[in-house]
């Protein structure tokens, strides 16, 4: 995919002003490790929810998702969004949330999250899904679309798109509500800060 020189200059100027420059068109993706998620969060969220682990390797911490939801809560349908791609998280900005001072966090779990929440993952764009707090939501916004048969998969509206994405080991983002906090806490091995 080529970008005209004048458009490339405009994009480079735009992205050089941003705190964490990201890829100008689509996020690159790798085969995700489904036991690892990343999140860009306010420093306060990290400070409130993290703690030291006795005998751990340097930088490894506990993280209490229930506590994080207390800090993060923005309304009835608040979701904590995570990604399988660190590059996407590094490029994410949410200054509209009112917080300052952001950190990137890696969460390492003891089980594949798509297996852990099997049957409980819905596409983000499915009608009514945002209000179903008992379900985890998935999307691929910002990633290159891919073909499934003759259908182009880009914005999820059906559970088939979720299942195909999982089966094909494609990158994705997961949105959790407080309803999943206990399960996330139970299966978290450790969390750690990742430099910009």
For 25, the domain range is 5-194
The count of domains in the chain is 1
Lowest pLDDT segment from 13-22, 81-90, 153-162, 181-190: 13-22
* Average pLDDT value for residue range 42-52: 89
Taking the whole predicted model, whether its pTM rises above 0.85 is answered as no
Count CB atoms within 10 A of the CB of residue 31: 10
At residue 117, does pLDDT exceed 90? yes
pLDDT digits (tens, 9 = 90+) for 55-97: 667 788 999 999 888 876 655 557 889 999 998 888 776 554 5
> Residue 194: how many CA atoms within 13 Å on its side-chain side?
18
User: Using CA atoms, how far apart are residues 1 and 9, in angstroms rounded to an integer?
Assistant: 16
Distance CA 91, CA 81 (A): 14
Tokens of 56: 């751990």
Q: What is the mean pLDDT of residues 115-139?
A: 92
- Alpha carbons 119 and 132: distance in angstroms, whole number: 13
Q: E-assigned strands of the chain? A: 36-42, 50-52, 61-63, 80-83, 102-109, 121-123, 136-139, 146-148, 151-153, 173-176, 188-194
How confident is the model at residue 25, as a pLDDT? 41
């Amino acid at each position: 995919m080529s970008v005209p020189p004048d458009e490339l200059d405009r994009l480079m100027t735009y992205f050089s002003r941003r705190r964490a420059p990201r890829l100008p068109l689509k996020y690159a993706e790798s085969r995700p490790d489904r036991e690892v998620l990343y999140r860009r969060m306010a420093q306060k969220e990290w400070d409130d929810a993290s703690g030291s682990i006795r005998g751990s390797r340097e930088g490894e911490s506990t993280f209490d998702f229930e506590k994080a939801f207390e800090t993060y809560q923005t309304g009835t349908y608040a979701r904590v969004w995570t990604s399988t791609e660190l590059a996407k998280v590094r490029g994410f900005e949410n200054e509209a949330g009112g917080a300052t001072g952001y950190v990137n966090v890696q969460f390492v779990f003891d089980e594949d999250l798509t297996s852990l929440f099997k049957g409980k993952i819905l596409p983000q764009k499915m009608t009514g899904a945002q209000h179903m707090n008992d379900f985890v939501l998935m999307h691929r916004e910002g990633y290159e679309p891919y073909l499934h048969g003759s259908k182009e998969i880009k914005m999820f509206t059906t559970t088939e798109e979720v299942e195909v994405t999982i089966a094909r080991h494609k990158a994705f983002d997961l949105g959790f509500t407080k309803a999943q906090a206990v399960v996330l806490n139970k299966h978290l091995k450790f969390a750690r800060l990742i430099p910009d």
